[in-house]
Amino acid sequence: MALSNLKKEMQLMETSCQVVDEGWPEAWYMVPDAEVANQKCENRLSPNKPVDVAAMRALGLCYWKMDADTYSYPVKSIPWDPSEAADPRLAALRDDRGYSYADVLTIHPDFLPNFDTHVKNFFTEHIHDGEEIRYILGGSGFFDVRDPHDNWVRVHVKKGDLMTLPEGIYHRFTCDETDSIHAMRLFIGTPCWTPINRFTTDTENHPSRKQYVCLYCTPQGLNDDQGETKC
C-alpha cells in the first residue's frame, strides 16, 4: 500500500473508538428470553425497535469497518501471530490498542466438532475480566449485550466488522441461521477465554462488572465535573 493510503488509513483510526457512524452493524431490541424459541433467529420485537449507533456507543461498544476482502486468513489458526497482519488497518489497530495475541476460528458444523454444544454454550450469559475483541472475517452471527435496564440488544455482525465489547458487560453470542462465521479473536497479553457466567457466579460483585456499571450504567460515570471517575 502506498504511503499516502497508509497515512489515510491511520487518520481514520481513533485511539479509543472509530468516530464515523457509517457501517456499524444493525442492532435491535430482542424479545424477552421466554419468547426465544430459536436463538439463531432475529427475535425482534414487533414492531421492531432499532438501536442506533449512539446507543451502542453508550453501552461501551466500539466498532471498526475492516477490509476482509483484500486480505485472506486461514480457516483455523490457534494462535495466529498478529505481527503477521498484512492489512495496515489491522496492524494499526493492533499497535494502537496493544493486541499481542490473536487466533482464527471457523464456527461451522464442518469445522467445529460438537458444533451444537458449542453454540449452546456461547449463548450462556457471561462477562469477562477484559475486553472482548472480534473481527468477523466471513459469515455472520449475533452478539447480544444487555442495556442498563437489563434488556437484550442484538447486534448482527457480518464480514468486515471488528467490534469490541467492554470488560464487564453482560453478553452472549450465537450463530445466526446461516450457521457459519469465520472470526479472529484478539487479546492483550495471555488470552483467557473462560467466561464468568451470570446467575451461577456472583457476577454482580465481580470487580469487572462493578467497573462496567460505574462507567456505563450510572449517571455519574466518567463525565463528572472533575473529568474523572467517582467510582
Q: What residue ranges bind Fe ion (CB under 5 A)? A: 132
Q: How far, in Å, CA of 117 to CA of 126, rounded?
A: 17
Who contacts 45 (Cβ-Cβ below 8 Å, separation ≥6)? 28, 29, 30, 31
Q: Provide the minimum distance between the beta carbon of 30 and Fe ion in the complex, in angstroms, as a whole number.
A: 17
Residue number, 132 or 161, with CB nearest to Fe ion: 132
Query: Within a 13 Å sphere around the CA of 9, how many CA atoms are in the beta-carbon half?
Result: 17
Q: Which long-range contacts link 209-215 to residues 24+ away (Cβ below 8 Å)?
A: 209/127, 209/168, 210/168, 211/167, 211/168, 212/60, 212/127, 212/166, 212/167, 212/168, 212/169, 213/168, 215/60, 215/166
**Residue 45 neighbours by CB distance under 10 Å:** 14
Residue number, 128 or 182, with CB nearest to Fe ion: 128
Residue number, 91 or 153, with CB nearest to Fe ion: 153
**Which among 220, 117, 215, 209 has a CA at the least distance from the CA of 171?**
209
Q: Provide the minimum distance between the beta carbon of 169 and Fe ion in the complex, in angstroms, as a whole number.
A: 9
Residue number, 151 or 208, with CB nearest to Fe ion: 208
Residue number, 67 or 204, with CB nearest to Fe ion: 204
Q: Provide the minimum distance between the beta carbon of 60 and Fe ion in the complex, in angstroms, as a whole number.
A: 14
Q: Which three cell numbers stand for residue 224?
A: 463528572
Q: Provide the minimum distance between the beta carbon of 171 and Fe ion in the complex, in angstroms, as a whole number.
A: 6
Question: CA angle, 39 as apex, 176 and 199 as ends, to 5°?
Answer: 130
Q: Provide the minimum distance between the beta carbon of 134 and Fe ion in the complex, in angstroms, as a whole number.
A: 9
Residue number, 82 or 168, with CB nearest to Fe ion: 168
- Kind of pairing, strands 132-146 and 26-29? unpaired
DSSP symbol at 160: T
Q: Which residue number is nearest to Fe ion in terms of Cβ? A: 132
Q: Provide the minimum distance between the beta carbon of 170 and Fe ion in the complex, in angstroms, as a whole number.
A: 10
